[in-house]
Structure formats: structure tokens, C-alpha cells
């Protein structure tokens, strides 16, 4: 047991842990929103940075934060996909979904099946949602 948490009741630790997980999802959602907004506004042309302006948001953020271009491209792809999935974006903003779930959902969700997929995703683990969405994208299922 860690000395800093030894005197904290286990239920408080558990509650804080769950709140922390939700906060991580909320911050991930905020990051995607900001990334999409920055890209839409072509911020990479004007935003402060080191050296000359970047060619695109991916290059700019990679240079500023060192995240990696492939990861940024994936996050940007998901951020734009959420424009067509308002319920999913709202659930992500509130911390109900992890980025892993959102990334899987944007591959298969449409306006017709979004609500059913969200109900499923909220009740399942990241791995279960990813596996289900992979099967769905291959034509293994017709709905959630």
C-alpha cells in the first residue's frame, strides 16, 4: 500500500479512479475537438511555433508535441468522422466512451445505427466494442 493513499477509504480510491477514467475520456474528446478546429481554421499557417509555418496540422503538431504523424492523422480522422455522429461525440465529451471505443465506432456508425451502437458500446469493454465493430465492418452482423 502506498503511504499517500493508505489512509484514504477504499471506496474513495475507487470513486476517484472511475472519475479519473471519465476525465481522461473528456480530455481526449477536448483534444480531438481542438485538433479539428485547428485544422479547419488552418492554424498551422499562423500559429506560433518554431521555425517556418508547417505544411499541415499533422506536421505542426508533430513538430510541437512529438506525438507522431501517424497518431495525429488517426486522431484527426476520428475528429472529422465525429462531425457526422453527434450522439457519439456527445457521449465522448461526457466521458461515457473511451477513445478506443470512439475510434471503433466511427468505422461503422451511421445516422441509422448510431444510437444502437452507442447503447452497445456503453455496456461493453473496449476490446468487445473493437471486435464487434471489426465484425460489423466485414459484414458479420447487420446491427448492434
Residuewise pLDDT in 10s, the chain (144 residues): 666 767 889 999 999 999 999 999 999 999 999 999 999 999 988 776 555 678 899 999 998 888 899 999 999 999 999 999 999 999 999 999 999 999 999 999 999 999 999 999 999 999 999 999 999 998 866 554
Q: Does residue 33 lie within any of the structural domains? A: yes
Look at the chain and count its residues: 144
Q: Does residue 5 lie within any of the structural domains? A: no
Which pLDDT value is given to residue 95? Answer: 95
Q: Does residue 109 lie within any of the structural domains? A: yes
Which pLDDT value is given to residue 63? Answer: 87
Which pLDDT value is given to residue 115? Answer: 97
Which pLDDT value is given to residue 7? Answer: 85
Which pLDDT value is given to residue 1? Answer: 60
User: Are 35 and 105 contacting, i.e. CB atoms less than 8 angstroms apart?
Assistant: no
C-alpha dihedral sign at 34, 122, 118, 73: positive
pTM exceeding 0.75: yes
Q: Does residue 142 lie within any of the structural domains? A: no
Q: Does residue 29 lie within any of the structural domains? A: yes
Rounded to whole angstroms, the Cα distance separating 60 from 37 reads 14
Q: Does residue 1 lie within any of the structural domains? A: no
- Domain carrying residue 72: 10-137
Total structural domains within the chain: 1
Q: Does residue 71 lie within any of the structural domains? A: yes
Three-state DSSP class for residue 64: helix
Which pLDDT value is given to residue 2? Answer: 63
Q: Does residue 124 lie within any of the structural domains? A: yes
Q: At residue 46, what are phi and psi to the nearest 5 degrees?
A: -125, -20
Amino acid at each position: 500500500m502506498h503511504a499517500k493513499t493508505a489512509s484514504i477509504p477504499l471506496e474513495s480510491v475507487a470513486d476517484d479512479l472511475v472519475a479519473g477514467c471519465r476525465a481522461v475520456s473528456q480530455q481526449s474528446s477536448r483534444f480531438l475537438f481542438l485538433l479539428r478546429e485547428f485544422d479547419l481554421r488552418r492554424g498551422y499557417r499562423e500559429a506560433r511555433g518554431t521555425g517556418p509555418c508547417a505544411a499541415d496540422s499533422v506536421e505542426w503538431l508533430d513538430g510541437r508535441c512529438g506525438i507522431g504523424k501517424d497518431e495525429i492523422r488517426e486522431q484527426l480522422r476520428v475528429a472529422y468522422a465525429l462531425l457526422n455522429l453527434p450522439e457519439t461525440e456527445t457521449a465522448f465529451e461526457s466521458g461515457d466512451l473511451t477513445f478506443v471505443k470512439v475510434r471503433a465506432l466511427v468505422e461503422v456508425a451511421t445516422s441509422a445505427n448510431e444510437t444502437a451502437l452507442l447503447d452497445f458500446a456503453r455496456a461493453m469493454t473496449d476490446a468487445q466494442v473493437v471486435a464487434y465493430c471489426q465484425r460489423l465492418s466485414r459484414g458479420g452482423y447487420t446491427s448492434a
